A and B are shown apart, each in its own frame.
Chain A
């Protein structure tokens, strides 16, 4: 393999991976409603940012992502710590299977569960069901990231603390938890971005009052030409991109 040929090939793949998003971003600044370039303008950003339905959906998405991230991060960190101390086969196996379960299957299984619960209690689909659904998939990501981080860590600090008289909880709280902090933040960011982006599961377990941003984008994308979608998409990609770069920086520390 000659390096120049391989380099050319690599460039082509990078173009393939990035060009669609770059083109989308460029056309979000197009003043025309059509795909012809007519000059730069911020009109679609103005349209997107003043659309009440869109703003409400954005608020919903952020609320859902915040709640499910906080829950998943706390529960997942504790679980990863426990699994690091000693394996628990059935939990690891269940989490692994849920990680590879197709989203649509997770979605319908949760829908079936909620429907049975609602038959006995007079509740309805809404933000709470979306938060629970997001908690279930965010939890797996958190456990995965934190467990990987714990496996690279040195157990002797905790042992030393316990030898010096710390209780197991004190050793966890004062020694391991501070060392885990970058990993916890990275895991939380991953959970947050995954929650913000989810469409398939959300669309099945959301109620009439809990439409999220991806649901609005999906609806607009299906209806046809609407450059406002390009504008929102660009905001999302840039926003998520910044969050991801931050989380990767944190990941690389220590």
Chain B
């Protein structure tokens, strides 16, 4: 094979690799905002479904608690992927994510990992149909949500009526 042909193949390979990278690369950060909100809302809805069961005082494990704990757990696994750099207010898409997320990304990551651990535990107590454990874990996970929402989410979300 001549040096020229090798060079041609190399260039072609580079083109393919670049094209593939562009095609399969993460979508631009701004595109994360809407799906991120939808998924966080799913988690809120799932937690409501679980707290509803606790309030009723007669828990429907199979139809309500277990599937919703599964939702929380499944979503939590990906939560740290939803906040790429550039998906804050600078994206010019409506978001309550504060710049503090990216300024203190280590702390934010720590909080996200805490949620993942709590959500896994939530699923565990749900699957075990452990009522006392469920009540305690809902409290725990609530504190984790709040610990992250207080510093990293704009309180303006209460004022707007767009959800």
B is bound to A: no
Which residues of A come within 8 Å of B, CB atoms? none
